[in-house]
Amino acid sequence: MNFKKIASALLVAGMATAAFAADGEFSLKGNVQTQATRMLADDSSNLSSLWIRANIGGQYKSENFDALVMLRIFAPQFGNKIKDGDGKTTSYDKILADLYWANYKWNFETYKLNLKIGHWKTDWSQSTHFGTYIDKDLTARGLWMRDYSHNAIEFGWQTGYSNFTAMLATRDNRANTGYIRLEEDLKFDFPLEAKLAYRVNSVDVVQNTAHLTHRIATYLSYKPLDFLRVYGEYGYIVTSDEYINEKVDNYVATESKYMKSGDAYHPFYLGAEYTPNKDCFMSILMSSLYVEWEHINDRQKIHNTQKDMDNWAWTAAWAKKIANSKLQFSVYSGNEISDVGFAFRLTSTIK
């Protein structure tokens, strides 16, 4: 091995990186998060779930290029569990490549273009608990972040109030399964935001036999008052009803296993957020207060369970920012409206 060549290559790469970074700004990012949940019906454990994790990485920003790399780290108690040949289970630290993407940008007088490549997330609904119907599995109940990860290439076009993106994403390392995702995000001068998105697993049918599942979702957010925001999301998810031989070798099951040929779901939720003004006494007690209601038709069928499950669900949440920390607490329903659960999250930002 020629170490001189390697050293020279590293030196050149370092000089190029330094020159490139001089045109932009690089910053470190990181936080430590703790979350605990407790369902009152769960009397077999002190907590229904608990994790403590760290997020660390760096971000580069410039006029024509952005990039981000973030790692998510869990201790062994919240990490991987691996069985050896003797059936013994051992826990290990878990380090996830949570985010890594590069975004190329072109700025013109009346519009902007960008090309994004990598692995990133969309937190579409902005809800504390529900939504993101354009991407999320309907069986997933999230807390505080309703994000979804994509491995994709995305083209974006921004002009005026409009921000349009077209994404081609894959779910495997040969691009044999995946989807096309289109989104229009409208932000107006007055306090109204509207989103409309469409997603279809059209990559699945190129090399495989598969049903097409079409997803359409819309999101609205409006502030009638400085301290009050009302918002909501509606989704329509339907699988094609054409006959497909599911016994062939190249059959690919629907991404959401509960979706059968011809099935259709139309979930929605409504919410309200109270954000007290800074000079208001209530701002000492809270940064935001949320109340949300959700409805999903045939929720019990979706979960494929004999347990009673209500189609309706609710949550109330409180958030408070204190210096570099953010406290979040929520009360929410479980399988039934009468099932009550609690969740707490603390996020301490390093930078």
Q: What is the pLDDT of residues 141-188, one digit of tens each?
A: 767 778 899 999 999 999 999 999 999 999 999 999 999 999 999 999
CATH tag, 108-345: 2.40.160
Measured distance CA(138)–CA(126) in Å, rounded: 16
User: In terms of Cα–Cα distance, which of 151, 111, 136, 91 is closest to 269?
Assistant: 136
Average pLDDT over residues 229-235: 96
User: In terms of Cα–Cα distance, which of 74, 85, 179 is closest to 134?
Assistant: 179
Which residue is listed with tokens 């069928």? 301
Contact 90, 101 (CB under 8 A): no
* pTM value > 0.85: yes
Which residues are CB-neighbours of 271 under 8 A, at least 6 positions away?
A: 127, 128, 130, 230, 231, 232, 290, 291, 292, 293
What phi, psi does 201 have (nearest 5°)?
A: -85, 55
Per-domain residue ranges of the chain: 1-101, 108-345
Residue 15: per-residue pLDDT: 47
pLDDT in tens, 116-137: 999 999 988 778 889 999 999 9
A 10 A CB-CB count for 332 gives 23
Indicate the residue type of 293.
W
Indicate the residue type of 129.
H
Residue 8: per-residue pLDDT: 54
pLDDT in tens, 261-317: 899 999 999 999 999 998 888 999 999 999 999 999 989 889 888 888 899 999 999
SS3 128: coil
